[in-house]
Amino acid sequence: MGLVFYFFIRRFKLPTNSYFQLPRKTPISFFALIVAGIVLAAAVNNDDNEMKPWKVAIPGIVFLLSIGFGEEMVSRGFVYGVLKRRSNKAAIFISSLFFGLMHLNLYTGNDWDPWLAYWHVASAFCFGFFMCALLIATESFWVPVITHTLFDWSIVFDKTPPVRKDIPPISFPFWEGLVFPFADLLFTFLPGALIFFFMKRRRIWAPRWLKKVALRIAIAWKLVDESKDKSELVGQY
Protein backbone atom coordinates (compact mmCIF):
# COMPACT_ATOMS: atom_id res chain seq x y z
CA MET A 1 0.00 0.00 0.00
CA GLY A 2 2.79 2.39 0.89
CA LEU A 3 4.65 1.79 -2.37
CA VAL A 4 1.48 2.27 -4.43
CA PHE A 5 0.76 5.66 -2.88
CA TYR A 6 4.46 6.57 -3.04
CA PHE A 7 4.13 6.07 -6.81
CA PHE A 8 1.02 8.30 -6.88
CA ILE A 9 2.83 11.05 -4.96
CA ARG A 10 5.69 10.96 -7.43
CA ARG A 11 3.51 10.51 -10.50
CA PHE A 12 1.19 13.44 -9.79
CA LYS A 13 4.00 15.61 -8.35
CA LEU A 14 2.09 16.47 -5.20
CA PRO A 15 3.46 19.18 -2.88
CA THR A 16 4.60 16.45 -0.48
CA ASN A 17 6.91 15.11 -3.18
CA SER A 18 9.65 17.40 -1.87
CA TYR A 19 9.54 15.85 1.62
CA PHE A 20 11.48 12.70 0.67
CA GLN A 21 14.64 14.01 2.30
CA LEU A 22 16.42 14.21 5.63
CA PRO A 23 15.01 16.71 8.19
CA ARG A 24 15.99 20.29 7.53
CA LYS A 25 18.25 22.02 10.05
CA THR A 26 16.16 24.79 11.60
CA PRO A 27 15.22 25.72 15.18
CA ILE A 28 11.62 24.56 14.70
CA SER A 29 12.81 21.28 13.20
CA PHE A 30 15.05 20.61 16.20
CA PHE A 31 12.19 21.57 18.51
CA ALA A 32 9.83 19.17 16.71
CA LEU A 33 12.38 16.34 17.01
CA ILE A 34 12.77 16.99 20.74
CA VAL A 35 8.98 16.92 21.24
CA ALA A 36 8.74 13.69 19.23
CA GLY A 37 11.53 12.17 21.33
CA ILE A 38 9.70 12.97 24.57
CA VAL A 39 6.44 11.46 23.30
CA LEU A 40 8.22 8.34 22.02
CA ALA A 41 10.17 7.84 25.22
CA ALA A 42 6.89 7.57 27.10
CA ALA A 43 5.43 5.18 24.48
CA VAL A 44 8.42 2.84 24.16
CA ASN A 45 9.41 2.76 27.84
CA ASN A 46 5.92 1.74 28.91
CA ASP A 47 5.97 -0.77 31.76
CA ASP A 48 3.68 -3.04 29.72
CA ASN A 49 6.38 -3.51 27.04
CA GLU A 50 9.10 -6.14 27.10
CA MET A 51 11.88 -7.29 24.79
CA LYS A 52 10.92 -10.26 22.65
CA PRO A 53 13.22 -13.03 21.28
CA TRP A 54 15.03 -11.93 18.11
CA LYS A 55 12.99 -14.33 15.97
CA VAL A 56 9.94 -12.32 17.05
CA ALA A 57 11.55 -8.88 17.41
CA ILE A 58 13.11 -8.64 13.93
CA PRO A 59 10.00 -9.49 11.88
CA GLY A 60 7.99 -7.46 14.40
CA ILE A 61 10.06 -4.33 13.74
CA VAL A 62 9.77 -4.88 9.98
CA PHE A 63 6.00 -5.18 10.47
CA LEU A 64 5.89 -1.91 12.45
CA LEU A 65 7.96 -0.15 9.78
CA SER A 66 5.51 -1.33 7.13
CA ILE A 67 2.63 0.11 9.16
CA GLY A 68 4.41 3.44 9.64
CA PHE A 69 5.47 3.73 6.00
CA GLY A 70 2.15 2.58 4.53
CA GLU A 71 -0.16 4.70 6.65
CA GLU A 72 2.03 7.80 6.36
CA MET A 73 2.21 7.53 2.56
CA VAL A 74 -1.60 7.35 2.37
CA SER A 75 -2.59 9.94 4.98
CA ARG A 76 0.25 12.45 5.07
CA GLY A 77 1.74 11.81 1.65
CA PHE A 78 -1.28 11.45 -0.62
CA VAL A 79 -4.36 12.84 1.17
CA TYR A 80 -2.54 15.80 2.75
CA GLY A 81 -0.58 16.38 -0.47
CA VAL A 82 -3.72 16.53 -2.64
CA LEU A 83 -5.57 18.89 -0.28
CA LYS A 84 -2.56 21.10 0.44
CA ARG A 85 -2.88 22.68 -3.00
CA ARG A 86 -6.17 24.25 -1.92
CA SER A 87 -5.82 24.88 1.82
CA ASN A 88 -3.07 23.86 4.22
CA LYS A 89 -5.33 24.08 7.28
CA ALA A 90 -8.05 22.01 5.64
CA ALA A 91 -5.42 19.51 4.49
CA ILE A 92 -4.16 19.07 8.05
CA PHE A 93 -7.64 18.57 9.50
CA ILE A 94 -9.08 16.34 6.77
CA SER A 95 -6.01 14.13 6.42
CA SER A 96 -5.95 13.65 10.21
CA LEU A 97 -9.66 12.81 10.25
CA PHE A 98 -9.19 10.42 7.33
CA PHE A 99 -6.39 8.72 9.26
CA GLY A 100 -8.70 8.32 12.24
CA LEU A 101 -11.51 6.85 10.15
CA MET A 102 -9.08 4.35 8.63
CA HIS A 103 -9.15 2.51 11.97
CA LEU A 104 -12.90 1.85 11.93
CA ASN A 105 -12.24 -1.49 10.21
CA LEU A 106 -11.37 -2.94 13.63
CA TYR A 107 -14.97 -2.54 14.76
CA THR A 108 -17.20 -4.45 12.40
CA GLY A 109 -19.71 -7.26 12.77
CA ASN A 110 -19.78 -8.80 16.24
CA ASP A 111 -16.82 -6.60 17.24
CA TRP A 112 -18.86 -3.41 16.77
CA ASP A 113 -18.68 -1.22 19.83
CA PRO A 114 -19.61 2.44 19.27
CA TRP A 115 -17.62 3.75 22.23
CA LEU A 116 -14.45 1.81 21.37
CA ALA A 117 -14.79 2.91 17.74
CA TYR A 118 -15.18 6.55 18.80
CA TRP A 119 -12.19 6.31 21.15
CA HIS A 120 -9.94 4.79 18.51
CA VAL A 121 -10.93 7.28 15.81
CA ALA A 122 -10.44 10.23 18.18
CA SER A 123 -7.08 8.88 19.33
CA ALA A 124 -5.91 8.29 15.75
CA PHE A 125 -7.10 11.77 14.72
CA CYS A 126 -4.97 13.37 17.46
CA PHE A 127 -1.99 11.25 16.44
CA GLY A 128 -2.49 12.16 12.77
CA PHE A 129 -2.50 15.85 13.70
CA PHE A 130 0.80 15.33 15.53
CA MET A 131 2.28 13.54 12.49
CA CYS A 132 1.25 16.46 10.26
CA ALA A 133 3.05 18.85 12.59
CA LEU A 134 6.23 16.75 12.44
CA LEU A 135 6.02 16.48 8.65
CA ILE A 136 5.58 20.20 8.09
CA ALA A 137 8.12 21.28 10.72
CA THR A 138 10.90 18.97 9.52
CA GLU A 139 9.90 18.83 5.83
CA SER A 140 10.85 15.15 5.89
CA PHE A 141 8.65 12.07 5.55
CA TRP A 142 11.10 9.92 7.44
CA VAL A 143 10.46 11.70 10.74
CA PRO A 144 6.71 10.81 10.92
CA VAL A 145 7.43 7.33 9.49
CA ILE A 146 9.97 6.52 12.23
CA THR A 147 7.85 8.24 14.89
CA HIS A 148 4.79 6.27 13.79
CA THR A 149 6.78 3.03 13.88
CA LEU A 150 8.05 3.56 17.41
CA PHE A 151 4.72 4.87 18.68
CA ASP A 152 3.15 1.52 17.73
CA TRP A 153 5.89 -0.33 19.65
CA SER A 154 3.43 -2.02 22.02
CA ILE A 155 1.69 -3.79 19.11
CA VAL A 156 4.62 -6.22 19.00
CA PHE A 157 6.36 -5.78 22.35
CA ASP A 158 3.40 -5.67 24.74
CA LYS A 159 3.73 -8.22 27.57
CA THR A 160 0.09 -9.23 27.35
CA PRO A 161 -1.29 -8.50 23.86
CA PRO A 162 -5.07 -8.01 23.93
CA VAL A 163 -7.23 -10.86 22.69
CA ARG A 164 -10.26 -9.73 20.67
CA LYS A 165 -13.50 -11.48 21.49
CA ASP A 166 -16.96 -11.40 19.98
CA ILE A 167 -18.67 -9.25 22.56
CA PRO A 168 -21.78 -7.09 22.48
CA PRO A 169 -21.42 -3.29 22.61
CA ILE A 170 -20.15 -2.06 25.95
CA SER A 171 -22.32 0.51 27.68
CA PHE A 172 -20.60 3.53 29.25
CA PRO A 173 -22.13 6.63 30.76
CA PHE A 174 -22.33 9.35 28.10
CA TRP A 175 -19.92 11.87 29.62
CA GLU A 176 -17.42 9.20 30.63
CA GLY A 177 -17.40 7.83 27.11
CA LEU A 178 -17.26 11.29 25.54
CA VAL A 179 -14.24 12.60 27.47
CA PHE A 180 -12.22 9.35 27.59
CA PRO A 181 -10.07 10.27 24.52
CA PHE A 182 -9.10 13.60 26.10
CA ALA A 183 -5.89 11.98 27.35
CA ASP A 184 -4.84 11.75 23.70
CA LEU A 185 -5.41 15.50 23.40
CA LEU A 186 -2.66 15.98 25.99
CA PHE A 187 -0.35 13.23 24.77
CA THR A 188 -0.38 13.80 20.98
CA PHE A 189 -2.69 16.65 19.89
CA LEU A 190 -1.21 19.22 22.29
CA PRO A 191 2.43 18.54 21.25
CA GLY A 192 1.33 18.93 17.62
CA ALA A 193 -0.44 22.20 18.40
CA LEU A 194 2.68 23.40 20.25
CA ILE A 195 4.83 22.73 17.19
CA PHE A 196 2.40 24.61 14.94
CA PHE A 197 2.31 27.50 17.43
CA PHE A 198 6.08 27.99 17.38
CA MET A 199 6.19 27.43 13.62
CA LYS A 200 4.49 30.79 13.05
CA ARG A 201 6.86 33.71 12.60
CA ARG A 202 6.69 35.84 15.74
CA ARG A 203 8.59 38.89 16.83
CA ILE A 204 10.71 38.22 19.89
CA TRP A 205 11.55 41.15 22.13
CA ALA A 206 15.24 41.31 22.97
CA PRO A 207 18.03 43.93 22.88
CA ARG A 208 19.23 44.54 19.33
CA TRP A 209 22.81 43.55 20.20
CA LEU A 210 21.55 40.19 21.48
CA LYS A 211 19.61 39.62 18.25
CA LYS A 212 22.78 40.34 16.24
CA VAL A 213 24.76 37.81 18.29
CA ALA A 214 22.02 35.22 17.83
CA LEU A 215 21.94 35.97 14.09
CA ARG A 216 25.71 35.44 13.77
CA ILE A 217 25.38 32.08 15.52
CA ALA A 218 22.46 31.12 13.27
CA ILE A 219 24.47 32.02 10.14
CA ALA A 220 27.49 30.10 11.43
CA TRP A 221 25.33 27.03 11.97
CA LYS A 222 23.60 27.64 8.58
CA LEU A 223 20.18 27.93 10.18
CA VAL A 224 19.33 31.00 8.06
CA ASP A 225 20.19 32.17 4.56
CA GLU A 226 23.23 34.42 4.92
CA SER A 227 22.65 35.88 1.43
CA LYS A 228 19.86 38.03 2.90
CA ASP A 229 20.59 41.47 4.30
CA LYS A 230 21.49 41.15 8.00
CA SER A 231 19.54 44.23 9.00
CA GLU A 232 16.44 42.75 7.37
CA LEU A 233 16.88 39.48 9.25
CA VAL A 234 17.37 41.25 12.56
CA GLY A 235 14.24 43.33 11.91
CA GLN A 236 12.15 40.19 11.30
CA TYR A 237 12.80 39.02 14.85
Q: Would you say 102 and 159 are in contact if contact means Cβ atoms under 8 Å apart?
A: no
- Mean pLDDT over 79-99 rounds to 96
Where helices occur in 102-173 by DSSP H, the ranges are 114-138, 142-151, 154-157
Share of the chain above pLDDT 90, in %: 58
pLDDT at 55 (0 to 100): 92
C-alpha angle with apex 197: 153 to 190, nearest 5 degrees? 35
- Mean pLDDT over 144-166 rounds to 82
Q: Would you say 37 and 134 are in contact if contact means Cβ atoms under 8 Å apart?
A: no
| CA-based torsion, 40, 43, 47, 52: positive or negative | negative
What is residue 106's DSSP assignment? G
Ranges 17-31, 41-55, 195-209: which has the least confidence: 195-209
Q: Which amino acid is at 60?
A: G
pLDDT at 105 (0 to 100): 84
Tell me how far CA of residue 13 lies from CA of 5, 71, 85, in angstroms: 12, 19, 11
Domain boundaries, the chain: 2-200, 204-237
When pLDDT is cut at 50, 70 and 90, the band that residue 164 belongs to is low
pLDDT at 179 (0 to 100): 84
When pLDDT is cut at 50, 70 and 90, the band that residue 186 belongs to is confident
Helix/strand/coil for 179: helix
pLDDT at 234 (0 to 100): 42
Phi-psi map region of 24: left, alpha, beta (phi>0 left; psi -120 to 50 alpha): beta
Q: Would you say 133 and 80 are in contact if contact means Cβ atoms under 8 Å apart?
A: no
Residue 81 has pLDDT above 80, yes or no: yes
